[in-house]
Amino acid sequence: MEKDQLRDTIRTGTVLIKDGTLLPETLRIESEPCVPGWRLVKDLNGYALDRKIDAAGWTFFCLAGEIGTIALGADEQSMVRRAIKRILANPRAKPFNSLEITRVASKRFLGLPYMSVAAQSRHVQEAMVLLSAGRTQESLERKSTATRAKAWTLTSAEEPGSERNQHVGVATMPGL
């Protein structure tokens, strides 16, 4: 990404999604690397992405409270990156898998340029009840294990030389 392009790309409404975040299979979004471990969603602001996620039957939570920081320097690209890294390092942003930029302002104080950036934690997940990213990952692992167990039960119930056995394996996922 070119120097001037990052400042134009990171603006109010820009959404970043953590690498490896599970998204609906039907959701097609373009993204590009922004800061280590995070991707910038292209051509969609927070509202538009929320509508697409909702249409896929998933939920894009918006959490209360804004996380803000400033970064000093002459190079706007490096100031924006440093500010985003500081926001992502904030403990309030850690348990969630998305971030929406709510403010980007380039200012000067006593002749020194600085960038003020604020963001809001967001979270993409299939369930309607908010789970932290860690709980979502645990839930997915349980679901994956249950799915593998169910598939194993269905395939292992077949006996050689006979038609398909009538037994059906059912797997439950406690805590969901």
Place of tokens 């820009």: 14
| One domain for residues 118 and 170 | no
| One domain for residues 24 and 95 | yes
| One domain for residues 10 and 71 | yes
Helices (H), the chain: 3-9, 46-55, 76-89, 133-156
Residue 48 CA to residue 41 CA, distance in Å, equals: 11
| One domain for residues 26 and 66 | yes
| One domain for residues 121 and 174 | no
| One domain for residues 121 and 140 | no
| One domain for residues 119 and 135 | no
pLDDT in tens, 54-73: 999 999 988 888 999 999 88
| One domain for residues 18 and 97 | yes
CB atoms within 10 A of CB 72: 11
| One domain for residues 120 and 135 | no
pLDDT for 38 equals 93
pLDDT for 41 equals 94
pLDDT for 49 equals 93
User: Which of 107, 125, 143 is the endpoint of a domain?
Assistant: 125
| One domain for residues 62 and 143 | no
CB atoms within 10 A of CB 66: 14
Quickly state the pLDDT bin for 141 (edges 50, 70, 90): low
Per-residue pLDDT at 155 exceeds 70: no
Q: Pairing mode, if any, of strands 67-72 and 112-125?
A: antiparallel
Quickly state the pLDDT bin for 74 (edges 50, 70, 90): confident
pLDDT for 154 equals 37
User: Which of 125, 147, 166 is the endpoint of a domain?
Assistant: 125
Quickly state the pLDDT bin for 123 (edges 50, 70, 90): very high
| One domain for residues 80 and 63 | yes
Return the higher-pLDDT residue of 6 and 167.
Answer: 6
| One domain for residues 118 and 135 | no
Number of domains in the chain: 2
pLDDT in tens, 26-51: 888 899 998 899 999 998 999 999 99
Residue 172 CA to residue 167 CA, distance in Å, equals: 16
By residue range, what is the domain housing residue 21?
3-125
User: Which of 88, 110, 125 is the endpoint of a domain?
Assistant: 125
